[in-house]
Structure 1
Amino acid sequence: MSDDSGLWLLTLGPAGAVGLYWALYRYYRNTDKSHAFEHETAVEAKPVTGTDTKINEVKGTQRTRITGDNVRQYRNRVQRIQGDAD
């Protein structure tokens, strides 16, 4: 019956993998210590206020640029940081 003595070694691999998975899951998830936002926080909903005003409409691809963009004028977009020249 020397064949049965090595069987425990074969079961050690899957058991170790399950144990490692469980330990890593518990370490990174912290399910017992985490804050249950959905159950512990009261959120009061208020009606949405405001207005939407339609000012312009572009249909299709007639205009490929946005009016007033400054993509090609990089010196107007990017400003130097003014610091002391010590």
Structure 2
Amino acid sequence: MSEDSGLWLLAAGPAGAAALYWALYRYYRNTDKSHGFEHETEIVAKPVTGSDRKVGEVKGTQQRRIDGDNVGDYRRRVTRLR
């Protein structure tokens, strides 16, 4: 009887490790909560509008940035069409 009482402790190690692994996997992967953009988002394509016009020319590597770029201004750069 005393031999059987310690058997559960021996089985608890691998069972606990498997449960911890599965819990951490589900927490960090959270595949059940992730958003499948390709399958769950409806995109209505519209014709491309706009015009092409040359505004200037940068030659060489002296200028690191283009004048008037909006890289840092996220809200102005990404706007929703209404």
Normalization by structure 2: what TM-score? 0.48
Normalization by structure 1: what TM-score? 0.46
